[in-house]
Amino acid sequence: MRVKGRAWVLGDNVSTDHIISGKYKFKAISSLEAMLPHLLEEVIPGFSERVRPGDVIIAGKNFGMGSSREHAPRLLKMAGVGAVVARSFARIFYRNAINIGLPVIEAEEIPSITEDGDVIVVDLAEGVVANLSKGVRERFRPFPKEVMEILRAGGIIEYIKKHGGFPWQGSTG
């Protein structure tokens, strides 16, 4: 599984409210699709109109902190974000991202050298993230087989629909 796209660089402590403001969760917005225009609006104005499929969020420490709402990773994926690469993630955001099939990669060097618009490649099978614009490659610990199966399926729900159970329980279908 490979992702390639432009970098969108953010700093440390990007909260789920930065990703999608909580005010939209509690307004009469009829669907997640109706929330898309508001994605990252307070930190990257116009993001939802400019993001392209496969683009990669690059961030610092504690990405996805705050509320446990699944809306944040789901909307990033719906917008076409192919992966998030950060120095570290809030635990609940990390698990929510895996559950919906959004790759989340912990890396040290790539976040420190990447600029907006750099071309990023994430190779999940090889455990490598590369900034092609800067010529820098960084290894990361590959995901366990079960997590890779969830990501390949597009999330835990899609995995269960296809296989009839969780990857760590063995297939029933």
Per-residue pLDDT tens for 60-99? 999 999 877 788 999 999 999 999 999 999 999 999 999 9
In 10-99, the DSSP E strands lie at: 56-59, 83-86
Please tell me whether residues 129 and 148 are part of one structural domain.
no
Say what the pLDDT of residue 70 is. 80
Please tell me whether residues 157 and 121 are part of one structural domain.
no
Name the band, by pLDDT with cuts 50, 70 and 90, for residue 35: confident
Say what the pLDDT of residue 168 is. 63
Section 141-145 average pLDDT:
91
Q: What is the C-alpha to C-alpha distance for residues 1 and 124, in angstroms, rounded to an integer? A: 6
Please tell me whether residues 125 and 163 are part of one structural domain.
no
If one counts the domains in the chain, the total is 2
Domain around 51: 2-142
Mean pLDDT of the chain: 90
Please tell me whether residues 160 and 119 are part of one structural domain.
no
Please tell me whether residues 55 and 126 are part of one structural domain.
yes
Please tell me whether residues 126 and 162 are part of one structural domain.
no
Q: What is the C-alpha to C-alpha distance for residues 15 and 133, in angstroms, rounded to an integer? A: 28
Using CB atoms within 10 Å of the CB of residue 139, give its burial: 0 to 12 exposed, 13 to 18 middle, 19+ buried. exposed
Section 151-172 average pLDDT:
79
Say what the pLDDT of residue 38 is. 86
- Write down the pTM of the prediction: 0.90
